[in-house]
Homo-oligomer: A and B are copies of this chain.
Amino acid sequence: MKHWLAALAALAAAGAFDGVANARTAGEILNSTAPEEWRAFDPEQVMVMTLADGAQVLIEFAPAFAPLAIANIKTLVRQNYFDGLAILRVQDNYVTQWGDPRAGSPQARSLGSATSAVRPEWSVRRGKAPFVELRDGDVYADDVGFSAGFPAARNGRDIWLTHCYGMVGVGREEAPESGSGAELYVVIGHAARHLDRNITLVGRVIEGMEKLSAFPRGTGPLGFYEVVDPSLTIQSVRIAADLPGGGPAAGLQALKESSKSFKELIEARRNREDAWYHRQADAIDLCNVPLPVRRAAPAG
């Protein structure tokens, strides 16, 4: 066996294991996209969360699917509601959740002009959102694919966002309208598709996901932390549009799901050409499709 760095280089060259940046054919596709195949993020639809160690997590909102919850979250953010709150819950292979450790107690932070109960936004009618279908089907829904930049599912009447890795939703109690957006969660494990259309998804993490997934798992029921540690504090949450020049959202782009390159990328992941693979899957499930994000090359 070669030294592991040499072995790693060989693996990377062969596109071994994974990673769009390393899979040869997928990498080739992403290196030869046309500029118009990428869209900029609307800084009004990007939330920037700064963690205790200064790391930033960027979340893109999906206003086509959850306009009420997103409006309420923005109201909270613009009151600096989340600043100094904390990661509350990390349940392995499930979710990381954040909000006010004192919510519900007399010491709870005020929601200010935000509402404490937003009606559920679990799906939209077909025709209200675009849909690019993925061909390989799904265990849970009639069709799956992509809508407005997000993984989605569809039946004869409705379209809804799906609980793939990195998707962000609004925690709630038993009543459908009991979520306000003051407590949010992100999927950190195998897609929790049974939650689809049971809880409002508001967007997905487009940068910094590797921070939200690596917190120690909580030891209380449902992965709640029994002690809130300073390393779990949220320094601040801002809307990118409120930061100078759009803050870290500036220059960030997503590959359009309507683009030729995205279609080719899906094929390259259904059947991987690189030599490491001895058998092609000839299929891909929704939550294994990468939704590429890049920092735009500086203008020439």
Contact = CB atoms under 8 A, between A and B. Distances in A.
A264 interface: no
Nearest to A213: B92
Interface string A1-33: 111101110111010111101100000000000
Interface residues of A, number: 82
Nearest to A21: B221
A198 interface: yes
B108 A1 contact: yes
A130 interface: no
Interface string A88-130: 1011111100011111110010000000100000100000000
Nearest to A218: B210
12 contacts: A3-B102, A4-B101, A7-B103, A16-B173, A92-B210, A93-B213, A122-B279, A189-B189, A194-B269, A194-B288, A214-B214, A214-B215
Given A3-B104, A189-B213, A193-B285, 7 more contacts: A7-B104, A17-B222, A18-B222, A140-B281, A193-B288, A194-B272, A198-B278
Interface of A: 1-4, 6-8, 10-12, 14, 16-19, 21-22, 88, 90-95, 99-105, 108, 116, 122, 136-140, 164-166, 173-174, 176, 178, 180, 182, 189-194, 196-198, 209-210, 213-217, 220-224, 269, 272, 275-279, 281, 283-285, 287-288
